[in-house]
Amino acid sequence: MTSTPIFAVIGAGMAGLSCASELHAAGLGVRIFDKSRGAGGRMSTRREGSGQWDHGAQYFTASTPEFTQQIESWLAAGVLAQWQPQLAIIPPRPAASSSHPRRYVGVPAMTAPARHLATRLPLECLRTIDAIRRDGQGWQIHSTERGWHEERFAGVALAMPAPQAAALLRAAAPGLAAEAGAFAMTPCWAAMLQYESAPPLPFDAAFVNHGPLRWVARNASKAGRDANHCWVLHASAEWSAAHEEDPPDTVLRALLQAFTELGAPPPIVARVHRWRYANLPAIETAPAPGMLWQADLGLGICGDWLHGGKVEGAWLSGRALGRAIAASPRARRGAAAASASSGL
């Protein structure tokens, strides 16, 4: 008996969901697995009490017609809005360019576009995939929560930061693991603060060019958020790398001190989060091929780091991998056999 080939996508961030959407649109079977509680990855929102913080990606932009079209569909679905903050540069300096990019944010939270993509796709959360292997029947995945899953897959797409993909591939595909291992990613310490009332700051968001901070933003300046006086602070990549292993309390104190120097009062809630693999370094460590697909193995990788970084890069990378898989003999053979056996 033949059936539609099913592909596993590991990672439900923007890259994995974009890849899975392409596979689904091509009529292929797909299952997505993610170790966290929901879709979004680094397009993430933390909630605690009355507080809400987009503590990963802050906003995104579009430079390609393909992603602009995707943005239009998210705007039409009401899961995205343009963001036009009162933006400062500290210390003040003339803007490097006179063009102002359109900035977009998920509504009511940064996770919204990813969750919207995931609604049509089978996603299993709280599955940390820690091994994959292949035999004559296909690929099998192992999660810390369920052990070896019984289902066999025609192929596997990894959609996660480079160091995590390299670790997962080391035993199953050392060549691909080495390619992923050539990419470095920088950490980012993020602080999440809540105030009793609005801090007296003359901006909604600011690029900060001295001290530990690189970015600060008032969460409620984005559409659809409650006016809960929540701010997100991001440390610079350099400072985050230098303090990567510092105790969270020490990091929080340093970031709070720097924000106080910008005029902020003491917060009523203060939390800190370390993104170990946040962004690509400013200087490329390896050329960006868009995605990696090894057709003979049925194994591929996508992610922002393969497409220049950022949300748009993640979406484009996932889409490119999904299309490569759908066009591969392994997918077409299975799909043709499935339609023949169903009499189509």
Ligand X SMILES: Cc1cc2nc3c(=O)[nH]c(=O)nc-3n(C[C@H](O)[C@H](O)[C@H](O)COP(=O)(O)OP(=O)(O)OC[C@H]3O[C@@H](n4cnc5c(N)ncnc54)[C@H](O)[C@@H]3O)c2cc1C
Task: Tell me whether residue 214 or residue 334 sits nearer to ligand X (CB atom).
Answer: 214
Task: State CA 3 to chain mean position distance.
Answer: 32
Total Cβ atoms within 10 A of residue 297 = 16
User: Binding marks (x or -) toward ligand X, 178..217, rule CB under 6 A?
Assistant: ----------x-x---------------------------
> What single-letter DSSP state applies at residue 317?
H
Nearer to ligand X, 157 or 314 (CB): 314
Query: Shortest gap between Cβ of 257 and ligand X (angstroms)?
Result: 20
Out of 278, 316, 320, 324, the only residue in the binding site for ligand X (CB under 6 A) is: 278
Q: State the Cα–Cα distance between residues 337 and 3, nearest whole angstrom.
A: 7
> Binding string to ligand X for residues 91 to 130, with x set by CB under 6 A, is what?
------------------------------------xxx-
Distance of CA 341 to the CA centre of its chain: 38
Q: Pick from 23, 112, 121, 159: which binds ligand X (CB under 6 A)? A: 159
Of 2, 4, 36, 228, the one binding ligand X (CB under 6 A) is 36
Give 17 or 335: the residue with its C-beta nearer to ligand X: 17
Instruction: Tell me the DSSP string of 50-110.
Output: TEEE--S---B---SHHHHHHHHHHHHHTSEEEE---EEEES----S-S----EEEESSST
Of 29, 51, 56, 155, which lies in the binding site for ligand X, with binding defined by CB under 6 A?
56
d(CA 266, CA 285): 39
What tokens appear for 29 in the block? 């079977």
> Which residues are bridge partners to 31 per DSSP?
8
Residues binding ligand X (CB under 6 A): 10-16, 33-36, 41-43, 56-60, 127-129, 159-161, 164, 168, 188, 190, 234, 275, 278-279, 303-304, 309-311, 314
